[in-house]
Amino acid sequence: MAYTNITRAGEKKLHEELKHLKEVKRPQVLAALQEARRKGDLSENAEYDAAKEEKNFVETRIQQVETILRSTRIIDDLDISDDRAYIGARVDLEDMETGEKIFYILVSEVEADFSARKISTTSPIGKGILGKGEGDTVEITIPRGTLRYKVTGISR
């Protein structure tokens, strides 16, 4: 069985999502289905079709989250070197061309959330900085061209 490395925060977030799907979304969708059925002719009932589609989406997502949680391995920050950029690390970078300072937090694909600056270790930038140490320079090829960064800090 292949495992997905995930942080404790990522595991907690998945458990919260699963609870919400089972305890809030599923009952809402089932109530919408019942209401649509009550309205009669299902062959031309757009509400029924939409509720059925939503039910399928919720049930599929529940199965996905349960599968992810069954195949996760919790990565504990205490077990990971803090002098290299590994999963769970905050990596401070300086753009070599513009001098702009940015940071990313390395996470698994499951936890990736670009708006929170959490990038997957399998993304081009994540792959490029994975395993690097403070002071290292990295070149990362992305569709728009090549990025050049200097690692200015690593923390957990």
pTM of the model: 0.71
Tens digits of residue pLDDT in 103-138: 999 998 888 998 999 999 999 999 999 999 999 999
**What are the residue ranges spanned by the domains of the chain?**
4-75, 78-155
**pLDDT(156) > 90:** no
Assigned CATH class of 78-155: alpha beta
**pLDDT(58) > 90:** yes
pLDDT, residue 41, reads 63
- pLDDT-derived band at 101 (thresholds 50, 70, 90) equals very high
Q: Is 89 helix (H, G, I), strand (E, B) or coil?
A: coil
Which of these CATH numbers, 3.40.50.300, 1.10.287.180, 1.10.150.130, 1.10.8.10, describes 4-75? 1.10.287.180
- pLDDT-derived band at 88 (thresholds 50, 70, 90) equals confident
